[in-house]
Chain A
Amino acid sequence: MGRIIGIDLGTTNSLVAVLEADGPRVLRDPETGAVLLPSAVAFLPEGRVVVGAAARALAAEHPFDTILSVKRFMGLGAEHVTDEDRRRYRIVPDAKGPVRFAVGGRELTPPEISAYILRELRRWAEAALGEPVGQAVITVPAYFNDSQRQATKDAGRLAGLEVLRLVNEPTAASLAYGLDKQDEGVIAVYDLGGGTFDVSILKLTAGVFQVLATNGDTRLGGDDFDERLAAVLLAHVPENVRARPDVRAAARASAEWAKRALSDCDWAEAQLDVPSAGIHLRRALTRAEFEDLVRDIVERTSAPCRQALRDAGISARDVRQVVAVGGSTRVPLVRAHMDALFGRPPLVDIDPDQVVALGAGIQAGILSGGRRDMLLLDVVPLSLGIETMGGVFTRLIDRNTTIPASVKETFTTAVDNQTSVDIHVLQGERELAADNRSLARFKIPITPLPAGVARLEVTFLVDANGILSVTATDLRTGRERSIEVKPSYGLTEEEIERMLEESIDHAEEDVRQRQVQEARVDADVILSATRESLRTNARLLEAGEGERIRAAVAALEAARAGEDHLAIRDAVDALSRETEPFARRIMDESIKAALADRRVEDL
């Protein structure tokens, strides 16, 4: 079945890693050697899709058709999308279920777009390992809810990967840090990525990594820093072009560059050049100015940290180590804030961009039986419950409950001859159902009986991925009941099946195109060699041979213009046969010439 790979599917960048005998290792782009794959996907005309650095470079030119930070939209519905996002992308309005992007003439959901990123990482891994890969561990923000997790799992499936486990990012990071050290005690992981913030409090005991509490904000990250800086740059731009998507995209890119520069220097000059809008801007920025701009964003990480400590039942003093994860923890202000929150400077030994992927690689190793000494015990980040009478949210599984977790509830009917029980499952911490995030509606058939007689035992089970499943038993008959699941913001089973079929069609299309491309390359090689020989060695041609070769060249050029790779290959073979005696004569000539030279030298 091949190796299990560990994937960090990040908001800004994604990585892939495996566990080797001497530890985890990130895998590289076989062409460029890069370890970070920018999480960008561009949809170009004629169905062409570009992923990674090339896609990110297209963002300014094709702002609507280049999706950056698709992770921010995982598991969300159209109603959760901000106005800024609506200006930035073409989002299909009033669509039911998951968000849909109108890109390159298609309507695609976040899992479908993420699948392009996962397929690219899979390609990297297969090239690095030299074998097919079909199974993966994928990391998710600890604070991801059920819909967001399910969406991530769906993305893996669409990319042809069996997702064996979703691991929380801070927990994965703790695995990477705890691997070599026989550390015991409580650690805090502060994970500020491009678009999400997580904090987890873990207790390490003899190889057991037990998460005590987790908290976070799935819409808080380094992207917000960029937005603030971009706004500063845009303030210098004439108002009539300020809202232009290409101008905004260029401003964001420039802001991101300046942010990075200001992590190392006290001063940086941001450049914004958009010739088509007449913009050639230079703006000096100091670190102090940047810090004032983003201080309140950094401050927003405090409340989740305090809540996590409270939920874990410990104080900041009990924390033995603080681990910095995510590229945004490179910002000095963020590090200072961590120091202030936990009373000690953070550990930064492992590259904060790679630590989650390395942890994912370790978890992949644990699942394949490679590290039986380590065990991860994670928690559910948000309380799970159902809607009960009067729109009240009744909790069934509290937040920070160790997973797997299950709870059984008995339901009965309210009216005579009721044929089904409807259960609305939600996730969140608020008292009213309407204030929490709707996950799914379950319809469970039940034997029609007088009200209150039928009894249904429903089991809610959260698995080790933090994903909920529901089973039901009719207590009168002891029979399992089938359940119809309507995910509120997710893909239905039928939709996934359809997408998989489409992607297989696309895969065939992709293979065909590659074959045509390769055949054309071979055609070009022989064509240019033949032309060169005809030009320089015409005197070696026999009677009529030149005409026959030119005819074969013409036939190959015609085939090359077509889309049939077999026809191209046939024409290549025909030309090769026709030129073979000619080529032999040229070869003989050159050998004779070489020998003649030798003789001269020998003399």
Chain B
Amino acid sequence: MQAAEARQRECWRCRAATAAALVCPACGTVQPAAPDADLFAMLGLPRRLAIDAEDLERRYHAASRAVHPDRFQTADPRERGLSLAASAAVNRAYRTLRDPAALGRYWLELHGTPLGENNNQVPPTLAAEVFAVQEKLEELRAAPDDAAVRAEVRVLRDELAERLEAMNARLLEGAERATTDALAALKHRLSEAAYLRTLLGDVDATLAEETRGTHHRH
């Protein structure tokens, strides 16, 4: 049904068939986004989680060249507006597909079980670790000039960063088949990764703050 609709689309200017293309293959005019187009289709990809980074970037650059507002400076206002909208959509597609966490969230949305916004609760699997990091951060805030504590926080930071990287690498594992169990597991991993990312941000902010403080004193 969706495919049939896509096939019926035609260019608003020259009436050539456009399918789901961003620009008309016949006259090069920018087309309004197809109502059924997902972010994969936007860059001509099948709806699959396995994405080759280099191929993705090539497709993104090609799509940008086709629709970017720089190319439509002398076009009429309607096409300029379409170019702006298409360019924003292409940017969103690339931003989502290149980042495993964003892609995971989008995958859940596509399958009707969005992650939701409020994920401030500590995942039980991380509780002990989070507690240890928070404690060390408190220590550093209390004694910003203590080089030993600072060094310990740095070590913790690097461990966190490594752990997050490892987590990101297998974030989407097994979610391709989108069974209820697979999606639930994906959700769990996404929450964990999101929490680690926030924690890492806190650590970086605290380290940066104290560095600034030291500079003021000198």
Q: Which residues of A contact B (CB under 8 A)?
A: 164-165, 205-206, 208, 296, 299, 303, 310, 366-369, 372, 375-377, 401-406, 461, 463-464
Closest to B84 in A: A404
Within 8 Å CB of B61, what residues of A?
205-206, 208, 375
Q: Top 10 A-B pairs ranked by shortest CB distance?
A: A406-B88, A404-B88, A402-B91, A367-B73, A404-B87, A464-B69, A208-B61, A404-B84, A405-B88, A375-B65
| A340 to B12 CA separation, bound complex (whole angstroms) | 56
A405→B92 contact, CB < 8 A:
yes
Q: How far is the CA of A303 from the CA of B91 in the complex (A)?
A: 28
Residues of A contacting B89 with CB < 8 Å? 406
Q: Indicate if the CB atoms of B73 and A208 lie closer than 8 Å.
A: no
Using Cβ atoms and an 8 Å threshold, which residues of chain A touch B64?
Answer: 208, 375, 377
Residues of chain B in range 52-99 having any CB-CB distance to chain A below 8 Å: 57, 61, 64-65, 68-71, 73-74, 84-85, 87-89, 91-92, 94-95
Candidates B57, B71, B74, B91; contact of A403 at CB < 8 Å: B91
Q: Residues on B close to A: CB < 8 A?
A: 57, 61, 64-65, 68-71, 73-74, 84-85, 87-89, 91-92, 94-95, 204, 208, 212, 215
- Complexed CA–CA distance, A367 and B92 (Å): 23
Chain A: which residue is nearest B72 at the CB level? A367
Separation of A366 and B84 alpha carbons in the complex (Å): 17
- 20 of the cross-chain contacts (CB-CB < 8 Å) are A165-B70, A165-B73, A208-B61, A208-B64, A303-B208, A310-B204, A367-B73, A368-B74, A369-B73, A372-B71, A375-B65, A401-B91, A403-B88, A403-B91, A404-B91, A405-B91, A406-B85, A463-B84, A464-B69, A464-B84
Q: What is the interface of chain A mostly: helix, strand, loop, or mixed?
A: mixed
In the complex, what distance in Å separates the CA atom of A464 from the CA atom of B67? 12
Interface on chain B toward A: helix, strand, loop, or mixed SS? helix
Most buried by A among B64, B65, B73, B89: B73
| Cross-chain pair count, CB within 8 angstroms | 59
Alpha-carbon distance A406/B33, docked complex (angstroms): 14
B residues near A406, Cβ cutoff 8 Å: 85, 88-89, 92
Q: How far is the CA of A375 from the CA of B88 in the complex (A)?
A: 15
Partner of A401, one of B70, B95, B215: B95
Q: Are B70 and A376 in contact (CB under 8 A)?
A: yes
Which residues from B are CB-within-8-Å of A403?
Answer: 88, 91
Task: Kindly identify which residue among B68, B204, B208, B212 contacts A464, using a CB–CB cutoff of 8 Å.
Answer: B68
Contacts of A368 in B (CB 8 A): 73-74
Q: Which single residue of chain A is at the shortest CB-CB distance from B99?
A: A313
Closest CB in chain B relative to A211 CB, distance in Å: 12
Which B residues are in CB contact (< 8 Å) with A375? 61, 64-65, 68, 70
Q: How far is the CB of B66 from chain A (nearest CB, A)?
A: 10
Report the bound CA distance from A215 to B38 in whole Å.
32
B57 touches A464 (CB 8 A): no
CB-CB under 8 A for A205 and B57, given A366-B70, A376-B70, A402-B95: yes
Contact at A404–B69, with CB atoms within 8 Å? yes
With A369-B74, A401-B95 already in contact, the answer to whether A461 and B84 are too (CB < 8 A) is yes
A405 vs B95: C-alpha distance in the bound complex, in angstroms? 10
Bound-complex Cα distance A310 to B161 (A): 12
Nearest-neighbor residue (CB-CB) of A367 within chain B: B73
Extra 15 A-B pairs, beta carbons < 8 Å, given A165-B73, A404-B91, A461-B88: A205-B57, A205-B61, A206-B61, A369-B74, A375-B64, A375-B70, A376-B70, A377-B68, A403-B91, A404-B84, A405-B92, A406-B85, A406-B92, A463-B69, A464-B87
Query: How many Å lie between the Cα of A374 and that of B136 in the bound state?
Result: 49
Q: Which residues of B contact A463 (CB under 8 A)?
A: 69, 84
- The distance in angstroms between the C-alpha atoms of A296 and B94, with both chains bound, is 40
Shortest Cβ distance from residue B55 to the other chain A in the assembled complex, whole angstroms: 13
- Nearest-CB distance from A389 to chain B (Å)? 13
Smallest Cβ-Cβ distance to B86: which chain A residue = A404
- Most chain A Cβ neighbours within 10 Å, of B57, B91, B94, B95: B91
Tell me if A367 and B84 are in contact (CB < 8 A): no
A366 vs B69: C-alpha distance in the bound complex, in angstroms?
A: 11
Instruction: List B contacts of A372 (CB < 8 A).
Output: 71
Given the contacts A404-B84, A461-B84, A463-B84, A367 and B91 also touching, CB distance less than 8 Å: no
User: Chain A residues near B215 (CB, 8 Å)?
Assistant: 296, 299
Q: How distant is the Cα of A402 from the Cα of B88 in the complex, in angstroms?
A: 8
Return the chain B residue nearest A368 by Cβ.
B73
CA distance A367 to B71 in the complex (A): 7
CB contacts (< 8 Å) of B68 on chain A: these are 375, 377, 464
